[in-house]
Structure 1
């Protein structure tokens, strides 16, 4: 008795999820008024590369959606970032459509809505062997992360984090396809491009190269018909070189002045208070003991460390290598600094940057909360401090390992689980990078790690829904006599020659 074939809707759920996701993101970002994120003073280094300027009077208070051209005497102190690629496209489209200003952030919002739809549709497509409701649930989980107020405001801003967000999502989706054998070579190239985009967003993202490279270097993909030998290592090598090159491109561009600011903040805001004896900490760092009086004072505070007469003689000590050596010699202080970072992590969203434009009728520094699920949950666990953060990471790691072990190699479930491991790795290395390297604006600098940590449960949920075995290979149909499959013409010719 013949059994009817299982009914399938093909790619229809994926298309519908993508269209709905793009539409909802447009509503979320534009209705009733556009929302973005105010500049903190860093944005001019990015926008000046595009022939745009920022009005300093709106700094911290209001988001800006149209950036004018700078005056003839404006200076530009640019830095390397992959975010400039999207903003160059935006600047070109601004001119093409005759929009006001040098860069119109409404164009960026439209681009983000399209990218959101593409990402959500791809998530549903990767789960097309699962029930339609599973595709919808996983797609909805991804949307809740992408549209959360913690991350969505960066879309219309002068920060470089959007490149890291885009790269992370591209890598996470393509990585699943690589493992599960869905057009693996193309998917590998997309995963590599996404990883390189994220790593080169800004210098703080360089450490993301560690989990990315570990994933890419362990993939073995055939080139053409060669499935063994050196050919299987070629793509992996290309991926490692591309990501490593992107990291080097950004890291070698850092200017000594910005490194000095970050290190000085780490010393006065993180190390000195955590040491319990600021004067001794200053001495251990090679600074005058009197510098202990600057404990808790950042670079922009009144009477900062760099205003001291002794500053020129110790300025050369403001390097990451010097601080790293101090942490190695004082593991107790390093542990206390890491523990204190848990409070900034669970704060989840900086509270000093406005979301609305100056004409929206909102007070300065007002923040939108159209979708604030993630910070609400995080604030509910603020009491747990670093122990809660560590517990969350361990829970995600355990879930990913269990799901990976309970799936076959080359299965979609294995793909989602392995990528979830990478996402947790990204969250951990970003935490270490930020907490041990940036004393100021820690919560904002943690945002890419928070983004990766927020994506990890979505990938674990998708792994639960995904097939645990690879897609079965098609079987040759028997010939009309019911015997063995008919021989290929080439095989018959070979037999005749023999």
Structure 2
């Protein structure tokens, strides 16, 4: 007679749904697992296809050009087919850029003739060749730029899946959230444009993924270092304002990955010393661990300095002008005193609230050379250090701008598609909805950032989390200060001149906190659940003894 008990009759959730929920659950985040190689690549292809469908079907959507596209694309020998008047060409998008030969000051930074450099060019040249292959004629079509950006994003998403903690289904869910955030129109529409913001978005995304690899794979420390340096260099070279990322990259590379080198024989014989403590004992090996990172930081710092010096001096002048006449003086309770502190002539008060394009701009003041000689970024920084009360109102205006990331003065559709001038595309806008909900209380954005930071600290130093979980926490600890540095870099230079557009990179990093926060919450919750005790293996037990007086 069989002694096997009958199978249990399970009721409740059907097996199919139960399996789906099991795969989407994070699983045991206290251990790192591998992912089949084809799964990340398939997910990356799906991510690319989703972005392309979102941008090109049923009609092309993008970001209207307010004039900045020319300085980036004219070195490629192309000119935009669009109306000449500013009020006309900002109403719609014009993807076609025809071959054109530029001369003298016509091509460059705002009519100065100085070349404008950006890592976005690395995407523009292949896009120019792709435009001809796809039959869009000679020159450049910004739809081809979108294709290149979406392909790069898909590759990065595939790499992201391999670095996240948890089950495969949970990783795919997290990667989908990152994709949904990036697909919002306030970010993705820049892919179909002549702006350099796409390189900044992709650079931020790549840097986050490279940092995950850096902290997750201590045995491949050199590869992780090279990935972080390459991603950071691409990000910093996207725009002049992204040089603010240097301090957080220094922090990240000085925060060395955890060593998993096995103990030496003589260390294992020392009683009363924990293994983790023995691994961290100072010695000559510690100097060797930091040497590559310090050398990499030196190279990155040199690259950043060279890139900043190569940028048009016209940009520096415009930033200083906006910092004083667009931001400082209009919001000052005593603008005359501010001019005296800067050492400027009192007549500059007449240009308060102007840009260089205004009729009464300070560039027409006979003392304008005095402004060029006496005002610098360091002097503006010292001004705000000596006037800390002015920073509060500046922060308030910046947070208000971050809750309004949609550029309503630039159209999203092509002319002739039946859409109204300056009409914005909102078919897919999850981030816009969240940020708009924060408009009445902009401080909630800071709350989101602080929550991500605190949970990041908790995950980074959690002994129960896996190395991948701690890597996510460390990445959050680095990302949030990067948002703050980018915020203040914009507010203290660009000021109120197109604040909404210049803060879009800080908006994107804040939006990345949303999926990152979900991962951190799961890592923290799952790490608090103790691992189940292992049942003794019956096969390892000794066989039952048979009494001698029992007849067999």
TM-score, normalised to structure 2, is: 0.77
Matched, 1:180 2:200: no
Query: Which residue in the other structure is 2:97 paired with?
Result: 67
Residue 363 of structure 1 is aligned with which of 393, 406, 420? 420
C-alpha distance in 2 between matches for 1:87 and 1:200: 14
The answer to whether the 8 A contact 2:95-2:141 is kept is yes
C-alpha distance in 2 between matches for 1:287 and 1:412: 54
Cα distance change of structure 1 residues 143 and 407 upon mapping to structure 2, 3 Å threshold: farther
The answer to whether the 8 A contact 2:91-2:410 is kept is yes
Cα distance change of structure 1 residues 9 and 455 upon mapping to structure 2, 3 Å threshold: closer
Query: Which residue in the other structure is 2:62 paired with?
Result: 36
C-alpha distance in 1 between matches for 2:35 and 2:66: 48
How far is 1:184 from its partner? 4.5
Query: Which residue in the other structure is 1:145 paired with?
Result: 181
How far is 1:304 from its partner? 2.2
Cα distance change of structure 1 residues 462 and 409 upon mapping to structure 2, 3 Å threshold: closer
Alignment of 1:194-343 (within 5 A): 194-219=231-256, 228-343=285-400
C-alpha distance in 2 between matches for 1:297 and 1:390: 30
Q: Secondary structure at the match of 1:275?
A: coil
The answer to whether the 8 A contact 1:281-1:292 is kept is no
Cα distance change of structure 1 residues 38 and 242 upon mapping to structure 2, 3 Å threshold: farther
C-alpha distance in 2 between matches for 1:191 and 1:376: 32
Residue 448 of structure 1 is aligned with which of 502, 505, 515? 505
User: Which of structures 1 and 2 has the bigger CA Rg?
Assistant: 2
Matched, 1:167 2:203: yes
Question: Which structure 1 segments of 5+ residues have no match?
Answer: 1-5, 470-498
How far is 1:32 from its partner? 1.1
How far is 1:82 from its partner? 1.2
How far is 1:408 from its partner? 5.3
C-alpha distance in 2 between matches for 1:136 and 1:18: 10
How far is 1:444 from its partner? 0.8
Matched, 1:76 2:107: yes
C-alpha distance in 2 between matches for 1:122 and 1:24: 17
What is the RMSD of the two structures over their aligned residues, measured on CA atoms? Answer: 3.0
Q: Which is worse superposed, 46-55 or 182-191?
A: 182-191
Q: Which is worse superposed, 179-188 or 389-398?
A: 179-188
The answer to whether the 8 A contact 1:69-1:102 is kept is yes
Aligned residues: 464
How far is 1:464 from its partner? 4.3
Deviations 1:419-449 (CA, angstroms, capped at 9, x unpaired) = 1122112211000100111120111111112
Query: Which residue in the other structure is 2:49 paired with?
Result: 23
Cα distance change of structure 1 residues 410 and 132 upon mapping to structure 2, 3 Å threshold: closer
Query: Which residue in the other structure is 1:106 paired with?
Result: 143
TM-score, normalised to structure 1, is: 0.84
Q: Which is worse superposed, 147-156 or 251-260?
A: 251-260
Deviations 1:184-220 (CA, angstroms, capped at 9, x unpaired) = 4433322221111001112111111111121023325
Query: Which residue in the other structure is 1:135 paired with?
Result: 171
C-alpha distance in 1 between matches for 2:190 and 2:169: 31
The answer to whether the 8 A contact 1:349-1:375 is kept is yes
Q: Secondary structure at the match of 1:68?
A: strand
Matched, 1:435 2:484: no
How far is 1:12 from its partner? 5.2
C-alpha distance in 2 between matches for 1:145 and 1:266: 31
C-alpha distance in 1 between matches for 2:35 and 2:235: 34
C-alpha distance in 1 between matches for 2:348 and 2:411: 34
Cα distance change of structure 1 residues 60 and 242 upon mapping to structure 2, 3 Å threshold: farther
Query: Which residue in the other structure is 2:444 paired with?
Result: 388
The answer to whether the 8 A contact 2:438-2:445 is kept is no
Alignment of 1:391-402 (within 5 A): 391-402=447-458
